[in-house]
């Protein structure tokens, strides 16, 4: 049991590292605008790669889909569509509120709800009392860690003059959109968690459980593809940026690398959830968010974003990372 948990945590750590770095190639885009990058990224990460992985690793894939009900297919797809809308709201929220406040609301809600909802809806009956205590403690400390790192980041942003007008950030509609985004952001995990009937059907057709998870992603991510495509195409038409596709490399490479890192994140996360056992889609999501946040923060530190941060900002950052580390241990122990 301990060996499987260690393997699951190790895989989640790799997935978190990939997730924390998946938007890094955006810094190296030369001529394309955001909508050009996002269209290619969306098609590859939400359609091409999920189907390629499923067709490669899941035997009798279409028999698997025919074996489940329309409701079992529709539920993960609808959750995926909700997550796709959250992706768009995230961009709007960051623009209106600034990164600090938007990150606190969206990532905080997404991390907590993505961990707690699958646990109480699907897995509560499987957990012992000490398991519940460990998960509750881990989620609480994770929330504190996110709040501390976000607070430190906000101080650092103010010092670097990279935030919006504070009066503008407090705009009530923007706060509402950020909260709505935070409520919808973990729907990608709901899509995977509530799509496990598809994975079970794949196992029934002779697939290994670790590979059966790949059958869920083409269904769930198809729902997320629609709003992302709509947003990208709308911006391409509005901004007259279709012509930028004429200069394909190296921007196509950067967009493709983003898609590889992003889909790789969730392909590995799906495998880790299998190793983590019955609580994999709740505990695993919490661990993924922790490793993703820590990777993004450390990448910022190494690239000089915190070079001129004040002592208070660095103290908050260090305290937040310490809390996230403790939360990692508690969530991992809950599976033993």
**Closest by CA position to 263, among listed 295, 297, 233, 225:** 225
Confidence of residue 169 (pLDDT cuts 50, 70, 90): very low
User: In the numeric block, which tokens belong to residue 81?
Assistant: 């569509």
CA 39 to chain centre: 18
Q: Is this structure's pTM higher than 0.75?
A: yes
For residues 188-204, give the mean pLDDT.
94
Q: How far apart are CA 168 and CA 175, in angstroms?
A: 11
Domain count, the chain: 1
pLDDT band at 94 (very low <50, low <70, confident <90, very high): low
**Six-digit token string for 220:** 């769930």
Closest CA to 192 of 273, 71, 131: 273
Average pLDDT over residues 239-259: 92
Q: Among 169, 166, 142, 151, which residue's Cα sits nearest to residue 286?
A: 142
Mean pLDDT of 88-114: 71
Percent of the chain with pLDDT over 70: 88
Is residue 1 classed as helix, strand or coil in its secondary structure? Answer: coil
Q: What is the mean pLDDT of residues 214-218?
A: 96
Could you tell me the residue range of the domain that residue 7 belongs to?
A: 2-333
Pair of tokens at residue 152: 């430190």
Residue 127 has pLDDT above 70, yes or no: no
């Amino acid at each position: 049991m301990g060996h499987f948990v260690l393997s699951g945590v190790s895989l989640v750590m790799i997935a978190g590292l990939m997730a924390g770095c998946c938007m890094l190639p955006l810094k190296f885009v030369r001529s394309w605008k955001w909508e050009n990058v996002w269209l290619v990224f969306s098609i590859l990460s939400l359609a091409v790669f999920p189907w390629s992985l499923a067709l490669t690793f899941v035997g009798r894939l279409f028999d698997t889909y025919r074996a489940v009900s329309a409701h079992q297919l529709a539920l993960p797809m609808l959750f995926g569509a909700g997550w796709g809308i959250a992706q768009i709201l995230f961009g709007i929220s960051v623009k209106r509120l600034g990164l600090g406040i938007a990150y606190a609301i969206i990532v905080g809600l997404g991390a907590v709800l993505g961990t707690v909802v699958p646990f109480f809806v699907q897995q509560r009956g499987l957990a012992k009392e000490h398991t519940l205590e460990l998960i509750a403690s881990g989620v609480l400390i994770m929330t504190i860690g996110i709040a501390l790192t976000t607070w430190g980041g906000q101080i650092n942003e103010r010092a670097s003059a990279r935030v919006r007008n504070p009066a503008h950030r407090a705009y009530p509609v923007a706060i509402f959109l950020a909260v709505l985004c935070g409520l919808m952001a973990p729907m990608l995990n709901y899509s995977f968690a509530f799509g496990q009937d598809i994975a079970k059907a794949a196992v029934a057709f002779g697939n290994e459980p670790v590979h059966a998870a790949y059958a869920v992603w083409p269904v769930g991510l198809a729902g997320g593809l629609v709003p992302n495509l709509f947003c990208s195409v709308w911006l391409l038409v509005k901004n007259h940026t279709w012509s930028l596709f004429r200069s394909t490399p190296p921007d196509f490479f950067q967009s493709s690398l983003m898609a590889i890192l992003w889909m790789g994140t969730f392909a590995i996360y799906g495998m880790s959830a299998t190793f983590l056992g019955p609580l994999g889609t709740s505990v695993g999501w919490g661990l993924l968010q922790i490793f993703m946040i820590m990777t993004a923060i450390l990448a910022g530190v190494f690239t000089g974003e915190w070079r001129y941060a004040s002592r208070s900002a660095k103290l908050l950052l260090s305290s937040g990372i310490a809390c996230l580390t403790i939360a990692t241990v508690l969530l991992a122990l809950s599976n033993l």
